[in-house]
A and B are shown apart, each in its own frame.
Chain A
Amino acid sequence: DAKTTQPPSMDCAEGRAANLPCNHSTISGNEYVYWYRQIHSQGPQYIIHGLKNNETNEMASLIITEDRKSSTLILPHATLRDTAVYYCIVRPFAGGYSTLTFGKGTMLLVSP
């Protein structure tokens, strides 16, 4: 699996947009970008994933650069409950079985 690089921590004010970057410069053409988050002591929670196009769901938006070497997760209106560790993961699309490989992620602290 391709490796990812994320900043260890970020701060965001409540109500503002949180933009979490992820670098995956060695990503292959058949690898998806996934985002999960882990609120303190809980199991990780799926947020969103994409291959080439930008994606949006009720939780967040995912912006993938045209060369696919980096992406940004956007939480449009961060709340205190969004304080968590956010993991960016790349995962092959096909060619056998694929697991989820977690790095250390970004600790997002949302403050009042």
Chain B
Amino acid sequence: NAGVTQTPKFRVLKTGQSMTLLCAQDMNHEYMYWYRQDPGMGLRLIHYSVGEGTTAKGEVPDGYNVSRLKKQNFLLGLESAAPSQTSVYFCASSYLFVDTEAFFGQGTRLTVV
């Protein structure tokens, strides 16, 4: 049982380049989330999804796009990377009901130079 898997674990991008971060979960969860964490800060929600084909904006959505074409996958895209997007990105998933726990991936460390 893999849980939540993020790909890649590390990446260095040049300013203006694009990339996609993949999150995959094998627990049949409805909810999936993308967070970013900057040094000394808590996690901030970028986008989330409450089911296949649905997405919604979180606290800091600008500069990111997401897609949930399959229930088990949640993709986070950066169309034109900026140094301000240097961060650690975490994906999470949970069942739909709020009284259940969320499971987190191990993170993707992204550096934009």
Contact = CB atoms under 8 A, between A and B. Distances in A.
Nearest to B98: A98
A46 B106 contact: no
Nearest to A47: B101
B103 interface: yes
Nearest to B42: A102
B48 A99 contact: yes
B106 A43 contact: yes
Contacts of A32: 98-99
Interface string A32-58: 101000000111111001010000000
Interface of A: 32, 34, 41-46, 49, 51, 87, 91-94, 97-105
**The 6 A-B residue pairs with the shortest CB-CB distance in the complex, in nearest-first order:** A43-B104, A46-B101, A102-B42, A102-B43, A98-B98, A44-B104
26 contacts: A32-B99, A34-B101, A41-B107, A42-B107, A43-B4, A43-B104, A43-B107, A44-B43, A44-B90, A44-B102, A46-B103, A51-B99, A87-B42, A91-B98, A92-B98, A97-B50, A98-B98, A99-B45, A100-B92, A100-B102, A101-B45, A101-B59, A102-B35, A102-B44, A104-B40, A104-B42
